[in-house]
Structure 1
Amino acid sequence: MTDYDVLRVFCGADGRHGNELGVVRDGSRIPDRDARQAFAGKLGFSETVFVDDPERGVIDIYTPTLRLPFAGHPCVGSAWLLDVPELVVPAGVVGARLDGEFSWIEARAEWAPPRTLRQYGSAAEVDALPVPPVGGPGEEGVPPDEVRRWIYAWAWEDEAAGRVRARGFPGRDDGITEDEATGAAALLLTAHLDRALNIRQGKGSQILTAPQPDGWYEVGGRVALGSSRLAAA
C-alpha cells in the first residue's frame, strides 16, 4: 500500500473548490515510470505528483495517461506542501514562495503544454458552454476543430481590473472532462495578454498571475490539505 496526500489547489476566497492533486511524498515507493503512470491512472486526479527529493524540491508529474515536464497546479500545490524555494521538474527549475495565504511559483510560458485559448464575449457565455465532445476524426457529431484539443475558454469579467472568467476542457478520454483550475493555461493566457490576471475558473476556484522580468510569469493561489489516503500501487 502507498500513502498519498490529497490537496486542493487554487481554492476560492471562501476556502472551497480548488483542483484536487494527489501527492506521493515518498516517490521511492514507486520508482518505475510505468508504475507511476498506472498509479496516477488509478487515482484519477487531473494530476498526481511523486516527490523524489523533498529537500531539493524534485518532483515528477503525471496525468492519468501522460507524464508532464511541467504543470501549474501540481507545482503550486507541491510548493505549498514542501515549503522549498524552488522545485525541479523536467522542464527546468521553478521558483517557489509562500506569501500569506497564497502559494506562488515562477515559470516560463514555453514550459506549459499547448492549450487552445478561446475568448468569448461575456462570462455568461463561458458559463453556458457545454463540455466539447471527445472523439477521433470522422466520428459523428465531432467537429474537426474540437477533436482532442485542450481548450481554455475565457472572457473578461472586468477588463480594467484584469478579472477573467475561465473554464478548462482537456479534450482527453481519461475521465477528466473539465479541469477545475489550470495553472499552465492561466500562465499561457497571462503571456498572451501580457498583464496580471485574477482568474475565476470552474465552480469557484481562483488563480492569480503576474508577468515578471525576462520572460518569467508568476502563478499563485490558495492550497488546502484535503486528506491522507492509502492505495495499492
Structure 2
Amino acid sequence: MTISYKQNTDGTTASASFNHESIGVATMMALTFVTGLVDAVGYLGLDRVFTGNMTGNIVILGMAVAGADELPVLGPAIALIAFTFGACTCGLLLRGSPAGWHTRTTALFATGGIVLLGLAVSMFVVGDTMSAVQQIVFAAVIALVMGEQAAVARALAVKDMTTVVVTSTLTSLASETFFGTGSALWNRRVGAIVTIFVGAIVGALLLLLHVALALLIAACITIAVSFIGHRYLTRVD
C-alpha cells in the first residue's frame, strides 16, 4: 500500500510518497533483530534465561524439573511470568484502540526502549560481575519489555513478523513459500529468520566486550523504531 502525504514547510507545500507496508516490515525486522540481541544477553549473560523466546524458557524449565544438567529454574520461571505480565498489560492498554499504528503504539515502543536503555546503564554501573539476584531482576525486566513488544507487534499484525519467535515463520517458509508463494513473502520470511540469527551473533560478540553493549543497541533500535513508526506509519483519520 502506497501512501502520499503533504507537508507545509516555510509556507510551501511538499509532497512525498512511500510504501507503508515496506516501512512496517522494516520496523518489525528491526525489532526481530532486537530479540536476537536480548536473547543472547539473557542466555549467555544472565544464567541461561531467554528474555524474548518463551518457548526456550518452557523447554529449559521442563528439563530442569526433570533434573537435567543442573539447569536454572527460578530465572526462566520469573522471566516467563514477567513476559506474560508485560503482554497482558499491553493488551489491556491497546484494548479498544484503532487498527494500525497509533499514538499508543508509539508510546509503548518508546517506553520499552527507555526501559532497556535504563537497564543498559544500570549494567554498566554494576559491571560484569552481577549477583544471581541481579541477573534474575535484569532478565525479568527485559522479558517484561519483550512481552510488551510482542503484544504490540501482534496488534500491528504485519504478516510473518512476530518479532520474538521464528518457528511459525520457518513453518510458513517450508510449507508454503517453497511451493510458489510470491517473492515478497519469501524475502520477508527468510529475512525474519536471518535477522534474529544475526542479532544473536552480534549480541554474543558484544558480550565479549561488555554485557550491557547489546542491551544498549537494543534500546537505541527500539527507540528509533518508535520514532520512525510514529513519523511514517501513524494513521490520521
TM-score band, normalised by the shorter chain? Answer: under 0.3
Q: Which has the higher helix share?
A: 2
TM-score by length of 1: 0.23
Q: Which has the higher strand share?
A: 1
TM-score by length of 2: 0.23
1 or 2 for the larger relative contact order (CA 8 Å, sep ≥6)?
A: 2
